Protein backbone atom coordinates (compact mmCIF):
# COMPACT_ATOMS: atom_id res chain seq x y z
CA UNK A 1 0.00 0.00 0.00
CA UNK A 2 1.21 3.49 -0.82
CA UNK A 3 0.62 6.31 1.68
CA UNK A 4 1.38 9.95 0.83
CA UNK A 5 1.22 12.72 3.42
CA UNK A 6 0.94 16.37 2.40
CA UNK A 7 2.01 18.77 5.14
CA UNK A 8 3.72 22.08 5.81
CA UNK A 9 5.67 20.36 8.63
CA UNK A 10 7.34 17.29 7.05
CA UNK A 11 9.83 16.96 9.93
CA UNK A 12 6.91 16.19 12.23
CA UNK A 13 6.85 12.65 10.81
CA UNK A 14 10.50 11.83 11.52
CA UNK A 15 9.60 9.99 14.71
CA UNK A 16 6.12 8.48 14.35
CA UNK A 17 6.84 6.50 11.18
CA UNK A 18 10.17 5.09 12.30
CA UNK A 19 9.17 2.61 14.98
CA UNK A 20 7.61 -0.79 15.50
CA UNK A 21 5.00 -2.15 13.12
CA UNK A 22 5.02 0.90 10.81
CA UNK A 23 8.77 0.70 10.37
CA UNK A 24 8.69 -3.06 9.81
CA UNK A 25 5.83 -2.77 7.30
CA UNK A 26 7.91 -0.29 5.30
CA UNK A 27 11.01 -2.47 5.48
CA UNK A 28 8.98 -5.47 4.32
CA UNK A 29 7.60 -3.49 1.37
CA UNK A 30 4.00 -3.73 2.65
CA UNK A 31 3.68 0.02 3.12
CA UNK A 32 5.46 2.72 1.15
CA UNK A 33 5.11 6.02 2.99
CA UNK A 34 6.17 9.36 1.50
CA UNK A 35 5.94 12.75 3.18
CA UNK A 36 5.62 15.78 0.88
CA UNK A 37 6.37 19.37 1.87
CA UNK A 38 3.60 21.64 0.58
CA UNK A 39 6.05 24.55 0.44
CA UNK A 40 7.78 22.83 -2.47
CA UNK A 41 4.68 23.55 -4.50
CA UNK A 42 4.74 27.32 -3.94
CA UNK A 43 6.13 29.83 -6.46
CA UNK A 44 6.94 32.95 -4.44
CA UNK A 45 10.20 33.68 -2.65
CA UNK A 46 8.57 33.37 0.81
CA UNK A 47 7.07 29.97 -0.12
CA UNK A 48 3.66 31.13 1.10
CA UNK A 49 1.16 28.38 1.90
CA UNK A 50 -1.50 30.41 3.75
CA UNK A 51 -3.53 33.58 3.32
CA UNK A 52 -6.20 35.64 5.09
CA UNK A 53 -9.80 34.43 4.84
CA UNK A 54 -12.24 36.08 2.46
CA UNK A 55 -14.95 37.86 4.45
CA UNK A 56 -12.57 38.67 7.30
CA UNK A 57 -12.23 36.95 10.63
CA UNK A 58 -9.53 35.36 12.72
CA UNK A 59 -6.47 33.45 11.56
CA UNK A 60 -5.09 32.20 8.29
CA UNK A 61 -6.26 29.55 5.85
CA UNK A 62 -4.14 27.08 3.84
CA UNK A 63 -4.20 28.11 0.19
CA UNK A 64 -5.55 25.72 -2.43
CA UNK A 65 -2.77 26.03 -5.07
CA UNK A 66 0.06 24.12 -3.30
CA UNK A 67 -2.34 21.33 -2.31
CA UNK A 68 -3.81 20.94 -5.81
CA UNK A 69 -0.36 21.07 -7.39
CA UNK A 70 1.17 18.52 -5.03
CA UNK A 71 -1.70 16.13 -5.72
CA UNK A 72 -1.29 16.63 -9.47
CA UNK A 73 2.37 15.68 -9.08
CA UNK A 74 1.29 12.44 -7.38
CA UNK A 75 -0.95 11.55 -10.34
CA UNK A 76 -3.84 10.09 -8.35
CA UNK A 77 -7.12 9.10 -10.00
CA UNK A 78 -9.72 11.86 -10.63
CA UNK A 79 -12.04 12.69 -7.72
CA UNK A 80 -15.10 11.27 -9.55
CA UNK A 81 -13.44 7.82 -9.87
CA UNK A 82 -12.34 7.88 -6.26
CA UNK A 83 -15.81 8.89 -5.06
CA UNK A 84 -17.50 6.15 -7.07
CA UNK A 85 -15.11 3.54 -5.66
CA UNK A 86 -13.78 2.68 -9.15
CA UNK A 87 -10.27 3.66 -8.08
CA UNK A 88 -8.68 1.84 -5.17
CA UNK A 89 -7.31 5.18 -4.00
CA UNK A 90 -8.54 7.79 -1.57
CA UNK A 91 -7.53 11.39 -0.96
CA UNK A 92 -8.36 12.23 2.63
CA UNK A 93 -8.59 15.67 4.18
CA UNK A 94 -7.92 15.62 7.92
CA UNK A 95 -10.67 17.71 9.49
CA UNK A 96 -12.45 18.02 12.84
CA UNK A 97 -15.62 18.17 10.74
CA UNK A 98 -15.03 14.84 9.00
CA UNK A 99 -16.38 11.33 9.55
CA UNK A 100 -15.00 10.02 12.81
CA UNK A 101 -12.28 7.39 12.43
CA UNK A 102 -13.13 3.96 13.81
CA UNK A 103 -11.83 0.43 13.32
CA UNK A 104 -14.28 -0.29 10.48
CA UNK A 105 -13.08 2.76 8.55
CA UNK A 106 -9.43 1.84 9.20
CA UNK A 107 -10.20 -1.63 7.81
CA UNK A 108 -11.85 -0.13 4.72
CA UNK A 109 -8.81 2.08 4.06
CA UNK A 110 -6.37 -0.79 4.57
CA UNK A 111 -7.95 -2.53 1.56
CA UNK A 112 -7.01 0.34 -0.79
CA UNK A 113 -3.87 0.55 -2.91
CA UNK A 114 -3.13 4.14 -2.04
CA UNK A 115 -4.22 6.83 0.41
CA UNK A 116 -3.18 10.47 0.40
CA UNK A 117 -3.52 12.40 3.67
CA UNK A 118 -3.83 16.19 3.54
CA UNK A 119 -2.90 17.89 6.82
CA UNK A 120 -4.58 21.21 7.54
CA UNK A 121 -3.20 23.96 9.79
CA UNK A 122 -4.24 27.36 11.14
CA UNK A 123 -8.01 27.98 10.75
CA UNK A 124 -8.16 25.12 8.27
CA UNK A 125 -7.93 24.49 4.54
CA UNK A 126 -9.56 26.38 1.65
CA UNK A 127 -12.96 24.71 1.26
CA UNK A 128 -12.32 23.89 -2.42
CA UNK A 129 -9.84 21.22 -1.35
CA UNK A 130 -12.58 19.26 0.41
CA UNK A 131 -15.09 20.01 -2.33
CA UNK A 132 -13.13 19.34 -5.51
CA UNK A 133 -9.98 17.40 -4.56
CA UNK A 134 -10.46 15.10 -1.56
CA UNK A 135 -12.99 12.30 -1.70
CA UNK A 136 -13.44 12.12 2.06
CA UNK A 137 -12.84 14.06 5.26
CA UNK A 138 -11.80 12.21 8.39
CA UNK A 139 -11.72 13.37 12.00
CA UNK A 140 -9.85 11.42 14.67
CA UNK A 141 -12.21 12.57 17.42
CA UNK A 142 -14.54 15.27 18.64
CA UNK A 143 -11.92 17.83 19.63
CA UNK A 144 -9.91 20.42 17.74
CA UNK A 145 -6.19 19.87 17.15
CA UNK A 146 -3.72 22.49 15.95
CA UNK A 147 -3.01 20.58 12.75
CA UNK A 148 -3.75 17.44 10.77
CA UNK A 149 -0.32 15.84 11.32
CA UNK A 150 -1.22 13.96 14.51
CA UNK A 151 -4.42 12.75 12.83
CA UNK A 152 -2.46 11.59 9.80
CA UNK A 153 -0.05 9.65 12.05
CA UNK A 154 -3.04 8.06 13.81
CA UNK A 155 -4.56 6.97 10.48
CA UNK A 156 -1.22 5.62 9.21
CA UNK A 157 -0.83 3.55 12.38
CA UNK A 158 -4.40 2.21 12.51
CA UNK A 159 -4.38 1.37 8.78
CA UNK A 160 -0.87 -0.06 8.46
CA UNK A 161 -1.35 -2.65 11.19
CA UNK A 162 -4.36 -4.00 9.26
CA UNK A 163 -2.43 -4.58 6.02
CA UNK A 164 -2.18 -8.38 5.70
CA UNK A 165 1.24 -9.48 6.91
CA UNK A 166 2.01 -6.29 8.89
CA UNK A 167 1.40 -7.93 12.26
CA UNK A 168 3.56 -10.93 13.03
CA UNK A 169 0.52 -12.79 14.37
CA UNK A 170 -2.57 -12.27 12.18
CA UNK A 171 -4.85 -13.59 14.94
CA UNK A 172 -4.04 -10.64 17.18
CA UNK A 173 -5.73 -8.12 14.84
CA UNK A 174 -8.88 -10.21 14.80
CA UNK A 175 -9.27 -10.41 18.55
CA UNK A 176 -8.51 -6.76 19.25
CA UNK A 177 -11.01 -4.24 20.57
CA UNK A 178 -13.70 -3.06 18.11
CA UNK A 179 -12.99 -5.77 15.52
CA UNK A 180 -16.56 -6.44 14.48
CA UNK A 181 -16.17 -8.84 11.57
CA UNK A 182 -12.89 -10.71 11.83
CA UNK A 183 -11.44 -11.46 8.38
CA UNK A 184 -11.30 -15.17 7.58
CA UNK A 185 -7.78 -16.48 7.15
CA UNK A 186 -7.67 -19.24 4.53
CA UNK A 187 -6.84 -22.68 5.86
CA UNK A 188 -7.09 -21.67 9.51
CA UNK A 189 -9.26 -23.55 11.97
CA UNK A 190 -11.12 -22.05 14.91
CA UNK A 191 -8.98 -19.95 17.21
CA UNK A 192 -8.60 -20.93 20.86
CA UNK A 193 -8.86 -17.25 21.77
CA UNK A 194 -12.10 -15.39 21.30
CA UNK A 195 -12.43 -12.80 18.54
CA UNK A 196 -13.59 -9.40 19.72
CA UNK A 197 -16.90 -9.40 17.82
CA UNK A 198 -17.09 -5.63 18.32
CA UNK A 199 -16.31 -5.67 22.07
CA UNK A 200 -13.34 -4.24 23.90
CA UNK A 201 -10.39 -6.62 24.17
CA UNK A 202 -10.02 -8.93 27.18
CA UNK A 203 -7.30 -8.24 29.81
CA UNK A 204 -3.75 -9.47 29.11
CA UNK A 205 -1.13 -10.57 31.67
CA UNK A 206 2.45 -11.75 31.47
CA UNK A 207 5.08 -12.98 33.94
CA UNK A 208 5.61 -12.76 36.88
CA UNK A 209 2.41 -14.48 38.02
CA UNK A 210 2.76 -12.67 41.35
CA UNK A 211 4.03 -9.09 41.13
CA UNK A 212 4.20 -7.40 44.55
CA UNK A 213 1.19 -9.38 45.70
CA UNK A 214 -0.82 -8.53 42.57
CA UNK A 215 -1.59 -11.92 41.15
CA UNK A 216 -2.61 -13.13 37.71
CA UNK A 217 -6.09 -14.76 37.64
CA UNK A 218 -5.70 -18.47 38.42
CA UNK A 219 -7.66 -19.56 35.37
CA UNK A 220 -4.93 -18.19 33.07
CA UNK A 221 -2.16 -19.96 34.94
CA UNK A 222 -3.91 -23.35 35.03
CA UNK A 223 -4.03 -23.68 31.24
CA UNK A 224 -7.54 -25.11 30.60
CA UNK A 225 -8.24 -23.67 27.12
CA UNK A 226 -12.01 -23.80 27.33
CA UNK A 227 -12.05 -22.10 30.75
CA UNK A 228 -9.61 -19.47 29.50
CA UNK A 229 -11.83 -18.79 26.46
CA UNK A 230 -14.89 -18.34 28.69
CA UNK A 231 -12.99 -16.14 31.16
CA UNK A 232 -11.75 -13.92 28.31
CA UNK A 233 -15.22 -13.54 26.87
CA UNK A 234 -16.70 -12.70 30.26
CA UNK A 235 -14.04 -10.11 31.10
CA UNK A 236 -14.38 -8.56 27.62
CA UNK A 237 -18.13 -8.27 28.15
CA UNK A 238 -17.66 -6.85 31.67
CA UNK A 239 -15.17 -4.25 30.47
CA UNK A 240 -17.33 -3.23 27.51
CA UNK A 241 -20.37 -2.90 29.76
CA UNK A 242 -18.38 -0.78 32.20
CA UNK A 243 -16.46 1.49 29.77
CA UNK A 244 -18.32 1.43 26.44
CA UNK A 245 -21.88 0.14 26.86
CA UNK A 246 -22.74 1.78 23.51
CA UNK A 247 -20.71 -0.92 21.73
CA UNK A 248 -22.93 -3.72 23.04
CA UNK A 249 -25.85 -2.57 20.88
CA UNK A 250 -23.92 -3.35 17.66
CA UNK A 251 -21.77 -6.25 18.91
CA UNK A 252 -22.24 -9.77 17.53
CA UNK A 253 -23.48 -11.39 20.74
CA UNK A 254 -23.86 -15.16 20.93
CA UNK A 255 -26.34 -17.02 23.14
CA UNK A 256 -23.45 -17.61 25.55
CA UNK A 257 -22.72 -13.85 25.61
CA UNK A 258 -26.37 -13.09 26.43
CA UNK A 259 -26.21 -15.57 29.30
CA UNK A 260 -23.00 -14.06 30.62
CA UNK A 261 -24.53 -10.56 30.47
CA UNK A 262 -27.65 -11.79 32.27
CA UNK A 263 -25.34 -13.30 34.93
CA UNK A 264 -23.45 -10.01 35.31
CA UNK A 265 -26.75 -8.12 35.73
CA UNK A 266 -27.88 -10.72 38.30
CA UNK A 267 -24.59 -10.37 40.25
CA UNK A 268 -25.11 -6.60 40.40
CA UNK A 269 -28.58 -7.01 41.88
CA UNK A 270 -27.54 -9.48 44.57
Q: Which residue ranges make up the site for ligand SAM (CB under 6 A)?
A: 94-97, 119-121, 123-125, 139-141, 143-148, 151
From its phi and psi, is residue 124 left (phi > 0), alpha (psi between -120 and 50) or beta? left
Least separation in angstroms between CB 110 and ligand SAM:
18
* Closer residue to ligand SAM (CB): 94 or 260: 94
Least separation in angstroms between CB 52 and ligand SAM:
14
* Closer residue to ligand SAM (CB): 150 or 171: 150
* Closer residue to ligand SAM (CB): 107 or 148: 148
Please say whether the beta carbons of 9 and 147 come within 8 A. Answer: yes
Distance of CA 118 to the CA centre of its chain: 16
Least separation in angstroms between CB 270 and ligand SAM:
43
Least separation in angstroms between CB 168 and ligand SAM:
30
Least separation in angstroms between CB 122 and ligand SAM:
6
Length reported for the chain: 270
* Closer residue to ligand SAM (CB): 120 or 197: 120
Closest CA to 40 of 31, 32, 49: 49
How far apart CA 87 and CA 85 sit, in angstroms, is 5
* Closer residue to ligand SAM (CB): 86 or 127: 127
Closest CA to 2 of 21, 20, 39, 29: 29
Q: 7-25 burial string, b = 16+ CB within 10 Å, else e?
A: bbebebbeeebeeebbebb
What residue is closest to ligand SAM based on CB? 120
Amino acid sequence: MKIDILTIFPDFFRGPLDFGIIRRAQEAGLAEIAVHDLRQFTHDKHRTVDDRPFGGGEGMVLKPEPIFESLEALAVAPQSERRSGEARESVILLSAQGRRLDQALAGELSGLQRIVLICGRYEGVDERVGQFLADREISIGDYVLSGGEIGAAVIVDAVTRLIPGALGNEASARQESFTAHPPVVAGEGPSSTCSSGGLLDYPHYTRPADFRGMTVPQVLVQGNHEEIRRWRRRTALEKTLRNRPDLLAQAALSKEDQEILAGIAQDKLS
